[in-house]
Structure 1
């Protein structure tokens, strides 16, 4: 079975990257050696295509494998998601095993050299990316994500796990998660083949609990869905799920990290905190199953048009802690476009993603001290406006939260 999966992946890599991956530096003239070198490099590119959600060309241009690569086979700085991706790739022809511990140690040492800004021992491929790497390391909002890509089993040995964990602990220390890690194994790579097939719609089956249905003017069902459903969809399709969304998964943003914290610390509250997910499809059909307060739907051409950050975060956490994901639920709207007017789907996407934005300043209204201050100022004849509103009338006897912050020297004066 493993041999067949390896064969499927190798065939895809040759078809996709044959004219994009350079192997002119192969040290032997043996055809099998050049093929192995190609597959190792193409597999590194494939891991970025799947996990980072980048194009074939961007993934291929990220390859740094070669002499003096210090164990780092691909480097990619995604300035949109603010993630620096560093990859080590090992092609296992038989589909079993894992990287040698020496290779993993070399990878970890290479990461440490990059963090320390020591590029002297690196090859020209990595030195060409030095500006990107330094830009990433100089930006405190950027996260570093490591990928160990190999066509073997899902479990790493103690030696390899310990090496990776020491590296993560040394860099993260007691601060927030600056660097993270995941494997890209044979099973993950094979599952992703369907998700990256160009032009193929995502047809899936989803069970919705506490389901309700609306037939007019357009067909829609809504209810709640267990987090594991979206974890499996993410594992298979990644950013293809968001092909018609206004943006893909943004990685470790502040909002996504807060969402992740909720999943890990209080999964039972996720349903109450999360805004939910909106799905569009060409059509859906309820399966004839006897289910109390639930319905299982066969969905044609599924697309996530709102909730990309929720789905991506669920998928990321599932790889680390599947039990937490199985405890969370999220509200879902599933809208069929089969009888909708032209442009309706685009309008759903636009409207669900362009509601008035809540800013950090708005959370001040939840602070009970602000209510106390409002009462005290009212006694003095001052109308204190806590919430933002278009109806606020600024007079000589009124002030806003921003005015109060200026008064205590916390914020430069804002122009109205």
Structure 2
């Protein structure tokens, strides 16, 4: 679970990306003289009001923006929406205050008085934005059984006691005979959960027709038979990536064998069944329609293709060239895993995919922690690819892969520790503390071990307490420092110094992180100009310190050997740590006092 500052970062990023294009700065007379920061907070408050309508009423962003009534003479009502399906008039008062301060008692009283005016039909007291919604407001007020539902939306968790008493008093006043009014606190935790739920994968429920099929009932239900390639392409077209939610990889595009699959299904449809391995689907439940062994329809609940993403994607690609022959068929196995399946789905995915050429990073995609991180980042407008796909191959700003994250975490997440510190923990029989030097030497020597889910390093890198915001920031810092060090390598004329910057890059980063907790630990997505300048200065300074410390080692081993072996890198790290400690205790030079 992300920290409160990290939740706030994700929410703010989401509000800006989704609503700022349609929630402009207000330039009316009552806003004149405002600073840009005040206008920015005002836009965030109105965006929060709109998103509260989205979260409460499950409408799209454009509809919610149309419900904004914030402005002069809004009487404390920042958004209004008639939810006909649930017989309620939803009203919002929103406050975007990063301190988390809730609406004050005075602000709550203003809203209560606004609701009184609304119920009394004193519409002339309201601004134009409210009056523009009079048709739906009057319809709502005249609907029997309607209730007014007020949401106090802000960045804290609870209303103040006096403000809450006033709201409860107003509820008691109205609800003598029927439920006419209720109020809710939509604090940061509630709003963040709306964001997270939006990013959850959609459940795929659909039907498939199997030909020449058979099945088993024990120890669990499964059916297997032929499916037409055109029908499979239709599933992919209808559901997209959601159909591969439990797979270790998404479709990788028309590369290698995928191009051959596309060609075969079009040019040799009668042979396709014999040349293709088929696909495997898991489903929460399988329901059989009336049919015979020759052909039958099966309804699948919460289903996913766990093996055969490349086959399914290639067949869908083949349909771009025209309709597929009805003779093109392939084998499909469908296994019912139930609603509470434990690790059965993962075991099926692993077993079925071990028959193909896969990498350790592919199976890391089965870690539910990776999906949590993807959802957190998606809520903030960032794209995280933890499963290989065609999209993941294209490196661009605002998007990164599991491999990118693993290297950034290895270089920047952990403290550099001395051999003496590690030995002390061993003597005291304490768990060995995480040591940045372990990670950077592994990254240099055998980078695949970083994302091997069964290895000792993966769990430390992608631990349950790692948030999406922190991971994104570390990737940003990694990319920034990497550019600096790549530039330093390219600018050097000395072969020895070029090799230092090429092979020592991860090691240098570990020490930049060691000395930059003030930058690393901030819960922001982006780096400020000041932070970039600070990191650039420290990178250059530490590079020179590490280079001068490593020069004596050049007599017997090159930089590639030094930075990929712990037996060489750890003593070097010890010396660097000693030099940094000595710098820290040196007295600061002070200017001489003028003579008395």
Give the TM-score normalised by structure 2: 0.35
Q: Name the structure where strand makes up a greater proportion of residues.
A: 1
Q: Which has the higher helix share?
A: 2
Which has more radius of gyration? Answer: 2
TM-score by structure 1 length? Answer: 0.49
